[in-house]
Chain A
């Protein structure tokens, strides 16, 4: 168990809908990272938050957004969903400058 908790584990939704994925980082970790993993693209970095503020952006679509709350949990919001958004979404957390630990992911299926 990495200590990073993601909910829900599975999500099935229709095209055009909006969903929210939740991540609770390891105790003491201030950095949270979101990744998308699809079969053809591998693990792609989406966005990083550090202590409530956006720190870095990767290949995140404009339809996607995230935030980190004062208690350090983070949410990834995906809107106007398309079939191609079906993927595994992972959250990772770390102490600054140290190794990142991953949660078990949320499997999103858009139908």
Chain B
């Protein structure tokens, strides 16, 4: 079992939809949680970085962490075709080394 699990998708939504991306993790030592966006095998780009449980909002993006259920979510409001990419979630503990899920492919069609 991988430490971070993600549904690979693809997830296809119409432009303007609210997108919900989810991960589960198994390592109880994780305290930091990240979402990265990766376009067609380019370098992962950091979107959200959160510590412990709770919500964090940045523009159209909201990250949620529920440590009690080991569940991580990313919500994208008013999705745009330019949001089409692979979204990687990651967790890290005291070492600060991100452990990644395999990513979810998102397609936003006009």
Residues of B within 8 A of A94 (CB): 96
Task: Say yes or no: A42 contacts B102, CB within 8 Å.
Answer: yes
Number of A-B contacts (CB under 8 A): 55
Task: Say yes or no: B96 contacts A42, CB within 8 Å.
Answer: no
Within 79-94 of A, Cβ neighbours of B (below 8 Å) are at: 88, 90, 92, 94
Tell me, in angstroms, the Cα distance from A68 to B101 when the chains sit together: 27
Q: A43-B88, A45-B97, A96-B96 are in contact. Are A104 and B49 (CB under 8 A)?
A: no
Task: Name the residue in A4, A43, A92, A99 with the highest tally of chain B Cβ atoms < 10 Å from its Cβ.
Answer: A43
Other-chain contact of A101, B46, B95, B97 (Cβ < 8 Å): B46
Task: Say yes or no: B95 contacts A102, CB within 8 Å.
Answer: no
Query: Which of the four size classes fits the interface of chain A?
Result: 20 to 34
Majority DSSP secondary structure for residues of B touching A: loop
Task: Say yes or no: B102 contacts A102, CB within 8 Å.
Answer: no
Other-chain contact of B43, A48, A90, A98 (Cβ < 8 Å): A90
Tell me, in angstroms, the Cα distance from A81 to B43 when the chains sit together: 23
**Residue count of chain B within 8 Å CB distance of chain A:** 19
Task: Say yes or no: A43 contacts B100, CB within 8 Å.
Answer: yes
Task: Say yes or no: A100 contacts B45, CB within 8 Å.
Answer: no
Chain B positions 64 through 105: 1 when the CB is less than 8 Å from some CB of chain A, otherwise 0: 000000000000000000000000100000011111111100
Other-chain contact of A102, B43, B96, B97 (Cβ < 8 Å): B43
Task: Say yes or no: B43 contacts A103, CB within 8 Å.
Answer: yes
Task: Say yes or no: B97 contacts A56, CB within 8 Å.
Answer: yes
Which A-chain residue is minimally distant from B2 (CB atoms)? A42
Tell me, in angstroms, the Cα distance from A88 to B95 when the chains sit together: 24
Which A-chain residue is minimally distant from B102 (CB atoms)? A42
Tell me, in angstroms, the Cα distance from A37 to B88 when the chains sit together: 12
Assess whether B60 is interfacial by the CB under 8 Å rule: no
Q: Which residues of A contact B (CB under 8 A)?
A: 2, 4, 31, 33, 35, 37, 41-43, 45, 48, 55-56, 58, 88, 90, 92, 94, 96-105, 107
